[in-house]
Structure 1
């Protein structure tokens, strides 16, 4: 996937993570996009290591993996920002 595809995919994954785990976080659209892109990478990396597959394009499995990764990163971000 190209960089534009990753940004769009990350934006959607970040919005889904924020929708599933709402809260008052700063950062807005840029943080949501970065969180989603990083979540896609983290989710893909963990998925490959655990044998679940990877992010291989725009499909439901890849989106689920990216959203789970983004949820994890959102959780970590909130833990760090509270301190």
Structure 2
């Protein structure tokens, strides 16, 4: 996130987490705080995975897609561990 600091992470994470929760159909069970947490952790997870494969760069759109992808993966993993299945 370019120069938005902590507030940018919260906004960016909230949007990414909300989109991921819509994709995984878990939005009804999540609040705004969980969306933010899932989005931020998902962004870190997605960034870590892409870095491990040597993929990087891009602007804010690439970063948003990375965060959404990581958040979807995170929600899927949590669903598998807790026994919830998505439709």
- Per the shorter chain, which TM-score range? 0.7 to 0.9
Structure 1 residues 33 and 78, CA gap change in structure 2 (3 angstroms): same
Residue in 1 that maps onto 2:77: 76
In the superposition, the TM-score normalised over structure 1's length comes to: 0.82
Q: Which runs of 4+ in 1 moved over 4 A?
A: none
Q: Does 1:48 align with 2:44?
A: no
In the superposition, the TM-score normalised over structure 2's length comes to: 0.79
Residue in 2 that maps onto 1:34: 37
Deviations 1:5-61 (A, max 9, x none): 11111001001101212136634111111000000111111111111215x76x111
Residue range with higher mean Cα deviation, 71-80 or 60-69: 71-80
User: Who wins on radius of gyration, i.e. which is larger?
Assistant: 2
Is contact 2:46-2:67 (8 Å) kept? yes
- Structure 1 unaligned regions, length at least 5: none
Residue in 1 that maps onto 2:66: 65
Aligned residues: 81
Is contact 2:18-2:27 (8 Å) kept? no
Residue in 2 that maps onto 1:17: 20
Distance 2:24 2:42 in 1: 14
